[in-house]
């Protein structure tokens, strides 16, 4: 694979997604998989693996210095219980649809991204109130399915966590810790049960430096804009990519 404009674009997408997630606690997977899939730069199953691999390192940087101790572990526990089996189901669906119904897979991905973007737009206006255990269980199940499919575990949990009476710092750290755990879970299952192509490992290696540098930059050199402005920027990218995928799938 030569270093051409496609590789340069991939590096930009990896860095952008990493910076946004390190700043807000979410959106890396959605930004990367939506942008790459919309432009057809790599198969969805390849991109999903790369997202899991790179998201793990992005999250680990954000959790450095004992930050993980400030997470909401009760929320993580109830979220994780149904997430594991649902992730296996999502990975199986990805393999089945990737071989038999690629257009349907693109349509599902596009719809998932658009709905997720709209839900996350609403989260900033939600009243802060604790969610019940069934809500976390349902969120874990839905996150597992779409996480297994596209390595985007974030939307349901992000929506739920922003309704909790926690500080923004606790919410961000909780999200990063969940993304680290789910990335390890998904990567382990795929590596143990499937043949991972050399293209997949190569894409992961190419994106690694961009993700690491962007995450460090977000931590020590944040842009002089508000978190809400950063979220709106991420939403605009996601909506455009989601609509593009829906059109392709249709």
Predicted local confidence at residue 124, as pLDDT: 54
- Taking the C-alpha atoms of residue 43 and residue 151, their distance in angstroms, rounded to an integer, is 13
What does each C-alpha distance from 68 to 64, 65, 128, 210 come to in angstroms? 8, 8, 22, 23
Predicted local confidence at residue 1, as pLDDT: 45
Predicted local confidence at residue 78, as pLDDT: 92
Predicted local confidence at residue 8, as pLDDT: 86
Predicted local confidence at residue 154, as pLDDT: 76
Class of residue 54 by CB neighbours under 10 A (exposed 0-12, middle 13-18, buried 19+): buried
Q: Are 148 and 88 in contact (CB under 8 A)?
A: yes
User: What is the number of other CB atoms lying within 10 angstroms of the CB of residue 190?
Assistant: 22
Q: What are phi and psi of 56, to 5 degrees?
A: -60, -45
Residue-wise DSSP of the chain: ----HHHHHHHHHHHHHHHHHHHHS--HHHHHHHHHHHTTSS-HHHHHHHHHHHHHHHHHHHTTTTGGGGS-HHHHHHHHHHHHHHHHHHHHHHHHHHHH-HHHHHHHHHHHHHHHHHHHHHHTTS---PPPHHHHHHHHHHHHHHHHHHS--HHHHHHHHTTSSS-HHHHHHHHHHHHHHHHHHHHHHHHHHS---HHHHHHHHHHHHHHHHHHHHHHHS--SS-HHHHHHHHHHHHHHHHHHHHHHH-
Number of domains in the chain: 1
Per-residue pLDDT tens over the stretch 219-236: 888 777 776 676 677 677
Question: What range defines the domain where residue 60 resides?
Answer: 5-249
Residue ranges, the chain, pLDDT below 70: 1-3, 25, 99, 120, 122-131, 227-228, 230-231, 234, 238, 241, 248-249
């Amino acid at each position: 694979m030569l270093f051409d404009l496609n590789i340069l674009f991939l590096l930009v997408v990896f860095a952008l997604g990493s910076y946004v997630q390190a700043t807000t606690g979410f959106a890396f997977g959605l930004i990367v998989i939506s942008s790459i899939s919309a432009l057809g730069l790599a198969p969805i199953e390849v991109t999903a693996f790369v997202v899991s691999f790179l998201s793990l390192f992005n999250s680990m940087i954000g959790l450095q210095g004992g930050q993980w101790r400030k997470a909401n572990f009760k929320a993580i526990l109830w979220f994780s219980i149904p997430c594991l089996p649902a992730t296996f189901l999502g990975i199986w669906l990805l393999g089945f649809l990737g071989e038999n119904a690629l257009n349907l897979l693109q349509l599902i991905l596009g719809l998932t991204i658009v709905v997720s973007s709209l839900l996350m737009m609403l989260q900033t206006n939600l009243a802060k109130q604790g969610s019940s255990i069934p809500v976390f269980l349902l969120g874990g199940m839905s996150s597992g399915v779409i996480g297994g499919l596209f390595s985007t575990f974030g939307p349901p949990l992000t929506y739920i966590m922003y309704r909790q009476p926690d500080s923004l710092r606790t919410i961000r750290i909780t999200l990063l810790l969940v993304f680290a755990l789910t990335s390890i879970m998904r990567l382990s299952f795929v590596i143990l049960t499937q043949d991972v192509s050399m293209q997949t490992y190569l894409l992961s290696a190419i994106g690694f430096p961009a993700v690491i540098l962007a995450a460090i930059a977000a931590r020590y050199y944040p842009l002089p804009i508000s978190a809400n402005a950063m979220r709106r920027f991420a939403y605009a990218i996601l909506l455009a990519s989601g609509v593009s995928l829906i059109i392709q799938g249709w």
